[in-house]
């Protein structure tokens, strides 16, 4: 995005597939074409920010203006495996179970 970019920013199906993969989120093939249009419209609209001069402006990540509070590094909770695992889709011997990841 350059400061004076006025061209439409088109998002194609390969971009949709790439970001869906990055997000680990399956997109139905029949939705891809519609998403190209929807995201292109939104991204093109966002491009208007290019016309705003932000030279020498510090990015703002937090509005609170104070640094993160520190606390003593002590255990305040824990040893509740049943509670931690109570919503697990699959668990065994106090572990979350996932598909095999090592060949």
The tokens for 39 are 């995201």
Using alpha carbons, list the distances in angstroms from residue 59 to 4, 13, 55, 98.
20, 32, 11, 39
Cα 9 to Cα 42: distance, rounded to the nearest angstrom:
9
- Verify binding: residue 86, another protein, rule CB under 8 A: yes
Q: How many residues bind another protein (CB under 8 A)?
A: 51
Contact 22, 64 (CB under 8 A): no
Residue 59: count of CB within 10 angstroms of its CB: 5
Residue from 52, 74, 75, 92 in contact with another protein (CB under 8 A): 52
Cα 8 to Cα 30: distance, rounded to the nearest angstrom:
23
- Verify binding: residue 64, another protein, rule CB under 8 A: yes
Residue 49 beta carbon to another protein: minimum distance, rounded to whole angstroms: 5
Question: Which residues, numbered 5-24, are part of the site for another protein (CB under 8 A)?
Answer: 11, 15-16, 19-24
Residues in the site for another protein, rule: CB under 8 A?
Answer: 1, 11, 15-16, 19-28, 31, 35, 38-39, 41-43, 45-46, 48-50, 52, 54, 57-64, 68-69, 71, 80, 83-84, 86-90, 96, 98-99, 101
């Amino acid at each position: 995005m350059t400061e004076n970019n006025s061209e439409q920013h088109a998002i194609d199906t390969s971009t949709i597939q790439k970001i869906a993969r990055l997000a680990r989120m399956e997109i139905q093939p029949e939705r891809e074409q519609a998403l190209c249009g929807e995201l292109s419209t939104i991204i093109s609209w966002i491009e208007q920010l290019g016309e705003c001069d932000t030279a020498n402006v510090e990015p703002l990540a937090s509005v609170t203006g104070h640094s993160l509070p520190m606390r003593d590094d002590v255990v305040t909770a824990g040893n509740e495996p049943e509670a931690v695992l109570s919503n697990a889709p699959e668990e065994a011997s106090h572990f979350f179970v996932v598909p095999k990841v090592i060949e």
